[in-house]
Amino acid sequence: MATRVDRKEYRRVRDESVKDTKPAAAENEIRVVANHGQRHYITYAISLLTGTEEKKKFDTIKISAMGGAIFNAVNIAEIVKRRVEGVHQITDIATEIVSDKYESIESKKPLEVERKVATILVTLSTKALDTKHVGYQAPLPITDVVEQEDRPRPTGSGRGRGGRGRGSGRGGRVSDRAEKAREGRYSAREARGPTRGRGSGRGSARGGRD
């Protein structure tokens, strides 16, 4: 069991030596961190699998993350599979021991605390992978894949306030939020948008008065 550190007596310090000992990521490996948006990772992963003028095309890419960034890594992989056709997936989950260093605020001895952190490694490949692996997932049906250039863009129409067309305008904005949420630009709560309708609520209230 990890030692509990009193934050009133100690503050955590960054260990820069860890970065120096960790090997650099391969060109087809994406290391996801929690405080970066998902959209950049998604675009980069797609460019690796499809190839561009600037980037070499790879049959296989690896997306790794740990701790709070695991959700981002999973979401990125799911979106990439819906943008590139025929992508096989293998997911490996493990734990890693991380050492945190703390310095004393009141001239006490420094502390070093070890803790276990969950890690994930998602392998995406346009070539067949080991179907017997416990974390294997087959490619999605072609009908579920919309390539990047073929994706419909939100039109933004119907936002006018004239007459009774106000409801359709709000619907357009909710669709826009949902589209951005799939790219990691909005949270799920923001994507749902307002849930209280004005027209139906007021109409029923006035009917009751008559």
Question: Along the 210 residues of the chain, how does pLDDT read in single tens digits?
Answer: 455 665 556 666 766 555 556 688 899 999 999 988 899 999 999 999 999 888 899 999 999 999 999 999 999 999 999 999 999 999 999 999 888 777 777 766 777 778 899 999 999 999 999 999 999 999 999 999 997 655 555 555 545 444 444 444 444 444 455 555 555 554 444 444 555 555 444 444 444 444
Describe the crossing of helices 38-50 and 70-81 by its angle, rounded to 10 degrees. 40
182 contact partners, CB below 8 Å, separation of at least 6 = 79
Which amino acid does the sequence have at 80?
Answer: V
**What's the CA angle centered on 149, arms 169 and 64, to 5 degrees?**
100
